[in-house]
Every structure is written in C-alpha cells, then in structure tokens.
Chains A and B, each alone.
Chain A
Amino acid sequence: MKANQIPVGPFHPLLEEAEYFELKVDGETVVDIDMEIGWMHRGHEYISEMKTFTQSIYLVERICGICSTSHPIACVHAIEDIDNIEIPLRARYIRTLIGELERIHSHLLWLGLAGHFIGYDTLWMWAWKYREPVLEMFEIISGNRNHYGMMRVGGVGRDVDPEKIPTLYKHLDLIEKKMVMIAKAAKDDPVLRSRLKGVGILTHAAAVAYCAVGPTARASGVPGDIRKDEPTDAYDLVDFNRIVLQNGDVYDKLVVRVLETIESIKIVRQCLDKLKTVPGPVLNNVKEISPGEGIGRYEAPRGEVFHYIRSDGSNRPIRHKVRAPSYVNIPTFTASCKGIPIADALITLASVDPCYCCTERSLKIIDKNHDPQSIDLLKLSREKTEQIRRKIHGN
C-alpha cells in the first residue's frame, strides 16, 4: 500500500524555527519521516568572520532566543581555549549561575508546551507562570529578561550586586517550592504516565548512532553531560547529579528535564551562597588573541553547544563554526517516529525540544479513499489524552 504524506511545517506551532517534516503514514501509523532544514539559514558563521571577537559574542547570543546564553558561553570558551585563558573565580560562579537559570526557564518552557500539546493546559499555565520569577531573576542580575550580554573573554561583563542576593534567594525559594509541586504532579499523574510512557522510543543504539546530545540522549541511557565530562566555569566546584534514564520514550525525556531543573536550582543556590563571600574581580583584561584554534562547548538545556574558532592573530576570527544541539537531535526522528500512531507524532517531534514558534498551520491531505479533509495534529494528540483520561477516571 502506498503511504500517504502529512506535511508538518515549515511553519507550525511545535517548531520555533521554520523546519519541514513530512510524515509518511500507512493508515494511522507513521512508517517514515523526511526532514528538510534551511528555511532560516541566517549566515551567522559568515557574519562572525567580519566581526571582532567581542562582537562575535553578541552576535551568537542572537542565534537562539530561549537558550541565548549557551552560545556566548561556548564562544568565550573557544576563544579562551586558544590561549588557555584563566578567568576569575567570581566570574566562574556568575557564568554558572546564568547558565543554570537559563536551563530552569528553558525546561519550564518545554514542560509547558509539552503539556499544551497533549491537552494538559493546567501544566502549561503552571510551568509558564513559575518561569516568570526566573526571568525576573535575570532582570535583577543583568537588566534584561533575555539576551543578558554577560559573557566576555576573560570573565563576565557585570558583577552580581551583593545587595540583590536576598531578593534572588526569595525568588529561588518560590521556584523551588513550585517546581517540586510540578515535578510531583507531572511524574505521578496516571493519565500523563499512560499518555507518554512507551511513546516515541529512541533506543540507546539509535541515540549513539545519531550522536544525540542532552536530555534526548540521557533519556536513552547515554550519559554524556558536558558539565560533568569537561567541567568548565564552576561546575567542578558545585554539587549536582547527572540525570540518566533508560527507556528513551517521551515520558523519560520529561522526567529527565524535570529532575534536571531541580538539580539546576541546587546549583543556583550554591552559586548564590558563594557569591556572598567570593571576592572579585569578574573580568581579566585580555588584550590579544594569539594565532591558533580553539574548541568551546557548553551543556545548553537541549544538549551540547559546540563552537570552533580559528584565529590568525588579528582581532577577528578567520573561521567560526557553530553547532547547536537541535542539529544533531532532530535527525533522531528517523529512529523515534517510525511505527508510532499519528496522534503521537506531535509530542514525539516536540520531545527533543526543537525550537518552537507561534504559528500554527492547518494541514490538508488528499486520501484517495476519502474526500479531501483537514487533519489537525494538535487536535489528534489532545483527543488521545482525553480518551486515556476517560478510561482512567471515567467521565
């Protein structure tokens, strides 16, 4: 039987960046998937070669709106790797603080969207409500809710005002209390468990073959976490656990992110404790970058962000390579989407946390056995959750 095709994208609510997926379906089952990227190629690598090292940091901050500090951290790591530049202790704690706050708000954002896709709008509203205090913490620290402009070669550009630390603790206490509540609700809910358990499994072998990173890989038993494997900044000075699960399904990806958020709160608290006592400065004066090459990486909320910089001794890079985690995680759909029902395709695609955008598109397909009809993947996904809810709780 010839498979029908269902297009998802290039503009769709589950995709922040415009990307195109073509689901090949036989009846209700997805039998294959095609992916096309390149709808938003913005030429950052080329532009960076025309900027100074300092300007490049600001440029790469604009690659992603959600994990906007991961690229600058990886970028400064790459530049510092060329000359083995050391940074002050206080700056190491501040970098770690900013990176972990970003992980909390990114995971909460994903949790909310995942809830929305399967018809759990309460989870969505909770997660996004308690993401707000995180953004307020960013505003207190950097003056911005996003694009913080904190990273510099040799340290950070702005110190954390000690007078503001009590306010930051207050916000963190609230986030921790609510996060524990959300984690319990998400993990113990029988409907959520039935809806996500065993859905969109990425096996350990497939995760290794596709070189997957971040929570996508750790939910499949691949333990890679740059914060533990190559600890930079203050990651070797703080205590936290590496979260690794084995099943590779959407439920495990959710649990990995929820548990990581709680670990991140622990790290933020330790950084704030240290910032009360560790003295400055926060920036070493770096005047020149020698000719050479450097690799910088950072464990972004979605996985390893990779930057490679080559310098010829001038004030700008002659090559700047950037690889974001979604680039290696999205091809895993080839393995995780095959054999699943259409109603599960949406949450499986969303489970690797590709970037999201706000445009929804109704899809038209033509089935030779039926009249042309409109298929709404979001509606299908939510209807399946409702069926499970009725089965468990009754009407």
Chain B
Amino acid sequence: MAEVEQFIKDMKPKISNIIEKKRRLYFNVNNKHLREVADYLFNKLGCRLSTATAMEMYHGLEILYHFSLDKAGQYFCPRIVITDKKHPKVDSITNIIEGAIWIEREMYDLWGIEFVGHPCMEELLTLHHPQGLQRPLRFKEGA
C-alpha cells in the first residue's frame, strides 16, 4: 500500500521492529519521536486515533497506539516500551490530537503512566474512589 511504503520511507530512522500484516503495521518508536510520528499520522496522512492499549509485561510497560487510516482500512500501531516501571512517563500527544485526552487519562488511571504535557492529568474512571489504592490493572506485588 502506497501510504504504508511512504510512511516507512519517511520515518525509517525513527521507527524499528516493523511488523507488517494484512492491513496492520506494528512498529516501535522512542518517546522522543512519538509526537513527530503522531503528527505525521494524524495531520499528514489523515489518520484517526482509535484508541491506545496499555499493558504491563515483565520487561516494562507498553503503550500501543492505534491510528486508523479509514480511507484505506489500514491500522498504524506505534508501540512505546517504558522500562521504568516505578515512575512511567511518556510525552502526551493531546496537543496534536484532542481526542487523546480521555485515552491518556484512562492509562494514567489504570496503569499510573504519566503523560507529560497533558492538560488535565487526573483519574478518568476512579476519580472519586478512595485515594492511595494501587493502579487497578498493574501487576499485584508478589504475583
């Protein structure tokens, strides 16, 4: 697909571990290039941010963004791996995509990932829950 080839060509030095499947493109990106990649996908290619999936693995926390290029039925999925599990931090993309506000707040809420530059970094789902609880979807200590 032309858009995929052009994206890989333009972003080649900034992305790695590229996995191409039918209508799906998964790749890794560093935090310092995240905003640039998001800007390219959203503003240049015209993608829509479907959502982002956070998950905890033994090697760290992962965030997988899902950008949908609707006109081609194609997904671009940049993946960020955060190895500092105690104080996970990532740049916010809300200054590029307003639709990311709730998506990032939810990841902060459930995984404790802080998004630097987010306009309202507070819990989305557990705002009125008792304070001081562990982030609900993180591994439990000793598990």
Contacts and interface: CB of A to CB of B under 8 A. Distances in A.
Interface of A: 36-38, 41, 43, 45-46, 81, 84, 208-213, 223-224, 226, 229-231, 293, 295, 297, 304, 306, 308, 310, 318-319, 321, 323, 327-328, 331
B136 A327 contact: no
Contact of A321 (B53, B68, B70, B73): B53
Nearest to B70: A224
Interface of A, secondary structure class, is mixed
A81 B66 contact: no
B24 A209 contact: no
28 contacts: A37-B124, A38-B126, A41-B126, A45-B137, A46-B136, A84-B21, A208-B48, A210-B98, A210-B99, A211-B97, A212-B99, A213-B48, A224-B68, A224-B70, A226-B73, A229-B72, A230-B73, A295-B75, A295-B77, A297-B50, A304-B68, A306-B51, A319-B53, A321-B51, A323-B50, A327-B102, A328-B50, A331-B98
B50 A306 contact: yes
A41 B125 contact: yes
B48 A323 contact: no
B66 A38 contact: no
B137 A46 contact: yes
B121 interface: no
B126 A306 contact: no
B55 interface: yes
Nearest to B72: A229
B64 interface: yes
Q: Which 3 A-B pairs have the closest CB atoms?
A: A211-B99, A230-B73, A38-B125
A306 B98 CA distance: 19
A81 B26 CA distance: 13
Contacts of A226: 70, 73
Contacts of A319: 53, 55
B2 interface: no
Nearest to A225: B70
Contacts of A208: 48
Contacts of B86: none
A2 B121 CA distance: 25
B66 A229 contact: no
- The binding surface of chain B is classed by DSSP as mixed
B98 to A, nearest CB: 4
Interface in B58-76: 64, 66, 68, 70-73, 75
B82 to A, nearest CB: 16
B127 interface: yes
Given A224-B48, A321-B51, A328 B99 contact: yes
A152 to B, nearest CB: 21
B53 A308 contact: yes
A229 B73 contact: yes
Given A38-B126, A211-B99, A323-B51, A81 B24 contact: yes
Interface string B33-60: 0000000000000001111010100000
Given A37-B124, A323-B50, 8 more contacts: A37-B102, A38-B126, A209-B97, A210-B98, A211-B50, A212-B99, A223-B71, A321-B51
A223 B128 CA distance: 38
Contacts of A37: 102, 124-125
B65 to A, nearest CB: 11
B53 to A, nearest CB: 4
A210 B48 CA distance: 9
B101 interface: yes
A211 B99 CA distance: 5
Most chain B Cβ neighbours within 10 Å, of A36, A81, A229, A331: A229
A205 to B, nearest CB: 10
Nearest to B109: A38
Which of the listed residues B77, B98, B126, B137 has the most CB atoms from chain A within 10 Å of its own CB?
B98
Contacts of B22: 84
A295 B137 contact: no
B50 A310 contact: no
A229 B127 contact: no
Contacts of B70: 223-224, 226, 229
B14 interface: no
B58 to A, nearest CB: 11
A148 to B, nearest CB: 26
Contacts of A211: 48-50, 97, 99
Contact of A230 (B23, B97, B98): B23
Nearest to B126: A38
Contact of A308 (B21, B64, B136): B64
Contact of A229 (B71, B77, B123, B126): B71
A230 B101 CA distance: 26
Contacts of B127: 36, 38
A242 to B, nearest CB: 11
Contact of A38 (B51, B75, B99, B128): B128
A91 to B, nearest CB: 19
